[in-house]
Chains A and B, each alone.
Chain A
Amino acid sequence: MKKHLKLLFVATIIIFMKGQGSSVKAQGIMGGHVTGNVQLDGQFSSRDSIIGATDVPEKMLSNVRADILYTNGNFSAGLRYEAYLNPMLGFDPSSKFKGQGIANYFVSYKTQNFTVTAGHFYEQFGNGMTLRAYEDRYLGIDNALRGVNVMYRPFRGITFKGVLGQQRYFWETRGLVRGVDGEVNLNDLITSWNESKTRLTLGGSFVSKYEDDETILSDMPGYKLQLPKNVGAASVRMDLAHGGFGLQAEYARKGQDPWLDNGYIYKPGEALWLSASYSQKGLSANIQAKRVDNMGFKSVRSVNERQMLYINYIPSITKQHTYAFLSMYPYGTQTTGEMGVQGDFIYKFKKESLLGGKYGTDIHLNASLITGLDTTLVGGKGTDGYTSSFFGTGETYYGDVSLEIAKKLSSKVKLSATYGYVLFNPVVEGHPGDIHHNHVLVADLTWKINRKNVLRFEAEWMGSDSKYSELVDDKRCGDWIMGLVEYNFTSAWFVSVSDQYAYNDGVGNYYNVSVGYTKGATRLQLGYGKQREGIICIGGVCRNVPASNGLTFSLTTSF
């Protein structure tokens, strides 16, 4: 049936195109336009016992995707071809992505006040705490919904959204998700508020999943769980702004939802997210806080794949570090329970000031701290599980502080220096061990030789109290140094050479060489080297990265 639907969809587009005289010209098809992009990533990896890389029986692994979008006035339609032949390392631990096919297809009609989409779609309500259907190809996540998505604006300032569908699960769809969202922008709605400096938007959403009954045995022999078939989650939110000040808040609550990751307990979930900010020219400050308690929300209660079938998303409040050693221990959001706070401050010392010098100086200070909840156990599977104190904190999960100072030394040379401190509790990755304390120093120098030639040097050092042991086998442990040289020339080519070396209490020497070429919308990149096993997180959502050793390549193009 699914195959028939896909074939029907593809056939509709082809007929739609061909029925108009097969006129495919640069400016488009029958007045419409076809755009798209193709991405091909591949890797060869061979055994390296020191870093833990294993042989790849297929020799070459590849992830391919091609998006095609047809737009004609208010109408649009698209599809995405994906191929995992076979999936690259780390993307498919459960071996369910292997294969190829049309993974995503949709048709959509859009006017100023009304949009309807049928097929696969992505959607987010507020911060996503009740619903966020999204994809991240680098994490191997695609939580697209397949069904119907409607947006309607009955008045200026009021927006309703409705979704109904099933979630993508590798090459299938599973679960049943229904949701509504309403948002009121009072400044647009109330004429006398139109020009007010104070701007206020209020919103609320409700999302429900349906799942049939199943037999989940209690810890008490002879008893099974009474499962809710319909589980709902609701949230309210506000966004207040006045001049440079901003205040955003969202509170979400979820009904009884016993599922695999929470140990099949019935405690209602809740999450609170707060953000206050101030900005003016040359300065911005932001402070965020959140509390999450049993708020993971999946469309299928008993599914092992860690990141698949999530209906909601809990915003991350730790900085997405870009430098290698600062991002070596990324923090993954603990949907079962956490509390956190983050502060972020950016200031630009003006040109010709004492600290600004001739070109000005930028400083960026960021700090975050995440802990568990203060909980009291009341039972196991089939009970409320635990109680928690709203303001109480549990063990420390993660903390970091980073200070980056960036200064242009001359018209061609820019230097950025960063100090960072990272505290990481391995319990958040599901294994015991001592808390790691890491200190990181980074120097990043960019020399713009001329308009077409840019040279960049990066040096990093990390001192850690962690020591590598075969028992835990965490190859991030130890003290590290790193160097990188990157040369961009003729505006089209770049070449970079880097090496990360665990010089004390660690293992591994991870060298990499990369060459890239860009022409128009096409980019080709080749790399050779070693990848340390670890974890990458984007927005608090993570995936494991196994060790690899060999050639990687990437080709992207768009049209």
Chain B
Amino acid sequence: MKKIVLSLSIIILTAFAIQSCDKIEQNDDGTYTVYSGAVGEWINGNGVADKSQRALLEKYTGLRCNNCPKADTVIATATAQYNGLLIPVSIHDSSFSFCRPWTFSTPTGNEWSHYFGTFGQYPQAIVNRSLSGSSFDRFDPTSGITSHVDPLVQQSAKVAIAADAACANNTINVTVNLEFVETVAEPLTLTICIIEDNLVATQLQPDGHTWDSNYVHNHIFRDVVTDMWGADIDCSGTAGEKRMAVFSTNKINPDWKLENCHIVAFVSYKESRDILNVVECEIE
């Protein structure tokens, strides 16, 4: 009986050992990869561990905007206070003379500025491109901004977002993962921005006549990796769905210091432009 048990044990163990290993065949080019989709093509992803709801604060500004340094102080304090849940971006507009010189302005920034209607006076801010009635909820960020941010970050995220970015061979590749926490039926888009910190340039100060030529500008919007209104997200939008895509750009301006740049990516409703969630990541 014992010999039978022993023989059976050996047979079972050998079979287990043989059957319990997968072998992936090597491709002719020496890789073990398979086609997953072109750049910008959405495929099934691994999900997003951090399901935080964050808010994007877009500050529309200019170098001649004398109250903008005050806004920078308020935003810096709030960003620290929200501990990663508030992501600021500074967008310079060249449309109006009081914004000259146009050092950091971009065509995309100008287009956004027009679209969101921040014409009258600067600085102006908008959080998650939220609507107030039929127009966008713009406000002066030199005063408190928590009343605009709190309602957004205190709700649970409908879509969780994560991003990784790396630069190689003069190309920035951004990998974005989405996980639907709740079902979202409407069409969505993904917008990816390149943001730069620690830019030293002149800035008019709050007294209205002093120019600080060593002013440090942070969170400066440089360009988009996607279309300015985002790339369509190929998804069903049902709760639990996990999608991912890679986006690339080789339009890297030599004036940018990539070590000071990072990526901001956000998901928004295609029709209303309202942002569902946002994330930022370093460029490795």
Contacts and interface: CB of A to CB of B under 8 A. Distances in A.
Contacts of B168: 219
B20 interface: yes
A218 interface: yes
B115 interface: no
A208 B20 contact: yes
Interface string B36-58: 11110101111000000000000
Q: Which of B22, B30, B38, B248 has the most CB of A within 10 A?
A: B22
Contacts of B20: 178, 206, 208, 230, 232
A217 B246 contact: yes
Given A230-B20, A255-B23, A266 B34 contact: no
B31 interface: yes
Given A154-B2, A256-B24, A226 B9 contact: no
Contacts of B21: 208, 228, 230-232, 255
Nearest to B17: A206
A256 to B, nearest CB: 6
A383 B32 contact: yes
Nearest to B47: A214
Contacts of B35: 222-223
Interface in A230-244: 230-232, 234
A287 interface: no
Given A154-B6, A215-B45, A217-B246, A229 B34 contact: no
B34 A234 contact: no
A378 B32 contact: no
Interface in B3-17: 5-6, 9-10, 13, 16-17
A383 B28 CA distance: 11
Given A229-B22, A234-B17, A382 B9 contact: no
Instruction: Classify the interface of chain B: helix, strand, loop or mixed.
Output: mixed
Contacts of A155: 2, 6
Contacts of B264: none
A180 interface: yes
A226 B36 CA distance: 10
Q: What is the size category of the interface that chain A forms with chain B?
A: 35 or more
A260 to B, nearest CB: 13
Contact of A222 (B13, B31, B38, B175): B38
A258 interface: yes
Contacts of B279: none
Contacts of B175: 217
Contacts of B17: 180, 206, 208, 232, 234
A183 to B, nearest CB: 12
B173 interface: yes
Nearest to B242: A215
Nearest to A256: B24
A223 to B, nearest CB: 4
Given A178-B16, A230-B21, A220 B6 contact: no
Contacts of B5: 154
A378 B30 contact: yes
Contacts of B6: 154-155, 158
A255 B18 CA distance: 12
Nearest to A220: B33
Contact of B39 (A182, A222, A225, A229): A222
B2 A217 contact: no
A266 B24 contact: yes
B9 A160 contact: yes
B193 interface: no
A221 interface: yes
Contacts of B36: 215, 217-218, 222-224
Contacts of A499: none
B283 to A, nearest CB: 16
B152 interface: no
Given A154-B2, A158-B6, A229-B22, A223 B34 contact: yes
A130 to B, nearest CB: 11
Contact of A221 (B24, B34, B246): B246
B31 A180 contact: no
Interface in B160-187: 168, 173, 175
Nearest to A155: B2
B244 to A, nearest CB: 6
A384 B30 contact: yes
Contact of A215 (B24, B31, B38, B43): B43
Interface string A285-312: 0000000000000000010000000000
Interface string A369-409: 00000000011001110000000000000000000000000
Contacts of B45: 215
Given A178-B16, A232-B20, A225 B33 contact: yes
Q: Which of A214, A215, A382 has the most CB of B within 10 A?
A: A215
Interface in A180-197: 180, 182
A349 to B, nearest CB: 51
Nearest to B36: A224
A96 B33 CA distance: 33
Given A158-B6, A266-B24, A206 B31 contact: no
A278 B142 CA distance: 79
Given A155-B6, A180-B13, A208-B20, A382 B248 contact: no
Interface in A419-455: none
Interface string B44-79: 111000000000000000000000000000000000
A266 B30 CA distance: 10
A382 B21 CA distance: 18
A258 B22 CA distance: 12
Contacts of A182: 10, 13
A457 B9 CA distance: 58
A231 B246 contact: no
Given A225-B34, A258-B32, A378-B30, 18 more contacts: A154-B6, A180-B13, A180-B17, A206-B20, A215-B244, A220-B33, A221-B39, A221-B173, A224-B33, A227-B24, A231-B21, A234-B17, A255-B23, A266-B24, A266-B32, A302-B46, A379-B30, A382-B31
Top 6 A-B pairs ranked by shortest CB distance? Answer: A208-B20, A232-B21, A224-B36, A228-B22, A223-B33, A206-B17
28 contacts: A152-B9, A154-B6, A158-B6, A160-B13, A208-B17, A208-B21, A214-B46, A215-B46, A215-B244, A217-B175, A217-B246, A220-B33, A221-B173, A221-B246, A221-B248, A222-B35, A222-B36, A222-B38, A222-B41, A224-B36, A224-B43, A226-B33, A230-B21, A231-B21, A255-B22, A256-B22, A382-B31, A384-B30
Interface of A: 152, 154-155, 158, 160, 178, 180, 182, 206, 208, 214-215, 217-232, 234, 255-256, 258, 266, 302, 378-379, 382-384
Interface of B: 2, 5-6, 9-10, 13, 16-17, 20-24, 26, 30-39, 41, 43-46, 168, 173, 175, 244, 246, 248
